[in-house]
A and B are shown apart, each in its own frame.
Chain A
Amino acid sequence: MVAKQKIVGLNGDEASAYATKQVDPDVVAAYPITPQTIIVERFSEYVADGLVGSEFVAVESEHSALSACVGASAAGARAFTATAANGLALMWEILYIAAGLRQPIVMAVANRCLGGPINIHNDHSDAMGARDSGWIQLFCENSQEVYDASVEAWRIAEHADIQMPVMVNFDGFTISHTMENVYILEDADVKKFVGKRIYMKTEGPKGEVEFKLDPDTPISIGPLDLQDFYFEHKVQQMEAMKGSLKAIKAVDKEFEKITGRKLEYVYPYKMDDAEVAVVGLGSAMGTVREVVDELRAEGVKAGMVKMRLFRPFPVEDLKNAIGNVPVLGVMEKAYSIGGPGAPLYEEVKTVLYDLPKRPFVADYINGLGGKDTSPEMIRDVFKSLQRIKERGAVLEPVSYVGVRE
C-alpha cells in the first residue's frame, strides 16, 4: 500500500539532508564544499535541534570525512557523508578502500567540475573519476529523485547480496540549489523502510561472524592482502557489483510499493519508433525530454534514454531501451583527456559493439564547468544526429556542444 506523503518545497541539497534526517544514521562526517554545503549545514541544524540521534563529526577534510565513515561503518554504524568535486577527488584513495572493505556507506555528491582552473559549477568530471572504485552510482534528474535515492540508497548499500557503498549524484546548482516540489514520506515510514542495518557474514578465527568491529567477535579488517588473495578479492567485488543488478531491482520494487513511484535503471522516452536518440545522465535529460517533444511535434522521430544507474552499468536494460534506433548521440558533462571519447560514450559503445545491428554513435560533450546546455544546443545535437543518419556515417565522433570558436 502506498504510504501517506506530503509535498514540500526542497532543493536537491535539502532533499538529501531531509531524507538523511529521516534515516537518522549513526554517524555523519562531512566537510563543506560548494555546491554540497547546504547538506552539512542543514544536517548540523538537525543535530543542534536534537532532531536526530546521529553523531556529527565536523572533520578537517574530505579525506578524513570518508575515513571516519569507513571507521564508523566498520564499527557497525550507518555512516553518511556528502561532497563534490575537489572534495571527492581528495577522497579518491579512501573511495577504493571503502569499497574494497565492503562498507555500505552512503554519500551524496552535488556534482561539480574538477579544478583547475577552479570553478564551482556543474559537470560530471568528479563522479566519473570514481567510476572504477567500486561504488554504486545513481544519477538524479531532479530533487524528487534525490530524495528517493537518498532513502533507497541505504537498502541498496546494505542488501545482503550487495554490501557496497552508494553514491547519490545530482547536478550542482541545477539541482542542488533549485527549489522544487518533492513528495516526502513520513519519518516512521522511512524508518520502517530502511529497517536495521544488515551485516555481511565472514569467516572469523572461531567460525562465522558478522563483518564488523565487535569486542565479542574480534576480527581484523583491512589486512595486508598479497598476491595469493588480492586478485580473488577483487573478482569477488566485481562479481558482487554485477550481481547487484538483480538486488537493486528488488529494492526498487519495494520502494515503489510505499511511494507509488516506479524506479528504473534507464528510462526510455519515445524510443519505440525513434530514428535519432540521445542517451545521458542527470538534470540535462529533463531539457532533452522537452526538446524531444518539440521535435516530435515537428515530425522528427526523436527519442531519448535517461540513465539513473551508472554503476553497475545496466547493460541489458540499456540495450533494450536503445532498441533498434539507427543513430544515437551520447550527451555527457564529462571528458577523458586523451581518451577516444568521454566515459559514457566509451561505455555505451562497448555495450553496443556486439549487437548484430548496432547504431551509429557520436559523443556530444556539453556543459563543462556549468556552461548552460540550452534547448537550442540540444536541437543542434539532434540536427547533427539527423545528418549522420542521412550520410550513413559519423564524420565527427566526438564534438563539443556550444563552445565558442
Chain B
Amino acid sequence: MSEITLKEMSRKPDALICGGRLCAGCDETIVVRQVMKATRGPTIVTSATGCLEVSTSIFPYTSWEVPWMHCAFENVAALASGIEATIKAMHKKKEGPLAKYPTVDVISFAGDGGTYDIGLQALSGAIERGHDFTYVLIDNEAYMNTGIQRSGGTPFGASTTTSPAGKVILGKTETKKPIDEIIIAHGTPYVATINTAWPLDVMKKARKAIEVDGPTFLHSLAPCSRGWRFPPEKTVEIGRLATQTCVFPLFECRQEKGKPVYELSAPSLAIAKRPENKKPIEAYLEQQGRYRHFFRPARKEALLKELQESIDTRWQILCEKAGV
C-alpha cells in the first residue's frame, strides 16, 4: 500500500469544490473530500440519488472536478458495474477512450437509503460479481433528501418523520441492519468503517480500498444537523462521540484465505485497551434532538439501559472478532 501523509493530501486539489447546496455543517461533503483526497489516479465517481447528488450537480453547474455520474436511487452499484466492465473491456481490447489510462478507479457514493434498503440488491450483485470498485456508504441514518424518513440504517429509538416519537411509540422500534456484517459475509476483500473526525484514518482506509482488487466497502457515519437535530458546528464533535461511545466503532476487515480478519482502528483500539475511556451513550444521545424523547419530559431509564446494553454487546462481539 502506498503511504499517505497529511501534508501531501493538503496539497492535492479537491475533487468536490465549492458551490454545493448542502446544509451548513453537512458531513457528506467532508466524507467525499477526505475519500477523494486518497485517489491514486484517474477516477470516475458515481452517486446514488440523495442529498449529495441533488446538492452538487444542479444543472448547469457542478461541483465535481472529476468525471461524475448519477443515474438513479437504487442502482449506483449496477451503474458502477457497467463502468468497471467498460474499463476492463477497453484494457483487454486495447481500444476505446479509457484504454490509455493504466488504471481508472471507480468510486460510488450512496446514502443509507440507497444502501441498506432500495439499493441492497444491486450492491449485493455487484459485490458477488467481484467488480473492482469502492463503495462508500454515507450513513446519516435516514432518508434525508426527502425529509428525514426512517431507513434500515436508522437506529433503534431515533425519531424520524416516518418513525416519529409519539405518545405511545418512542421513535423507531426496530434496530439498525448490520450492514458491515452483511457486506463482509459476501467475502468482500476489504471493508472498513470511517469517521471524518479522524481524517488521516479516512484517507488511509480510502487509499487501501481503492488499491485492493475487487469490491471494497467504506462505511462512514455522517452526522446530519438537519435530521439529527443539532447545531451545524457540532458535526465533527458528534461524529467523534459516536466512536468514543462505541456506537460506531472504527475497524477494518480484510479476507485471508477465505476468512474475515478484523482489526480495530486506533481510536477504537485505544478504548478496547482502556475500557474506562469508553463514554456512556448518553453523551452521544443527549446532544441530538432525534433522541430528545429519551430525556424529556422524563428520563427513560429503562430505554437508556436497554440501549447501552445492546451497544455494549455489539462492541464486545466486535472486540472478540478483532481478538482484543
Contacts and interface: CB of A to CB of B under 8 A. Distances in A.
Interface of A: 26-27, 29, 53-55, 57-61, 63-65, 67-77, 79, 93-94, 97, 101, 197, 205, 210, 212-226, 229
Given A75-B82, A79-B82, A97-B72, A214 B67 contact: yes
Contacts of A27: 82, 85-86, 89
Contact of A75 (B44, B70, B75, B92): B44
Contacts of A205: 62
A63 B98 contact: no
A46 to B, nearest CB: 14
Contacts, number: 172
A57 B85 contact: yes
A215 B101 contact: yes
A36 to B, nearest CB: 19
B30 interface: no
Contact of B85 (A68, A215, A218): A68
Q: How large is the interface on B (under 10, 10 to 19, 20 to 34, 35 or more residues)?
A: 35 or more
B210 to A, nearest CB: 14
Which 7 residue pairs spanning A and B have beta carbons closest together? Answer: A71-B82, A60-B125, A68-B82, A215-B42, A64-B78, A72-B82, A223-B57
Given A55-B88, A74-B83, A218-B64, A97 B71 contact: yes
Contacts of B315: none
Contacts of A217: 67
B128 interface: yes
A67 B82 contact: yes
B89 A213 contact: no
Interface in B139-190: none
Nearest to B96: A76
B71 A94 contact: yes
A53 B92 CA distance: 7
A77 B89 contact: yes
Nearest to A229: B59
A138 B90 CA distance: 29
B89 A53 contact: yes
B57 A60 contact: no
Contacts of B93: 26, 53
Contacts of B104: 215
Nearest to B77: A64
A73 B71 CA distance: 12
A71 B67 contact: no
Contacts of A219: 62, 67-68
A354 to B, nearest CB: 37
A26 B124 CA distance: 23
A221 B70 contact: yes
Interface string B75-117: 1011111110111111011001110010010000000000000
Given A59-B81, A60-B125, A215-B43, A224 B54 contact: yes
A60 B124 contact: yes
Contact of A77 (B53, B86, B129): B86
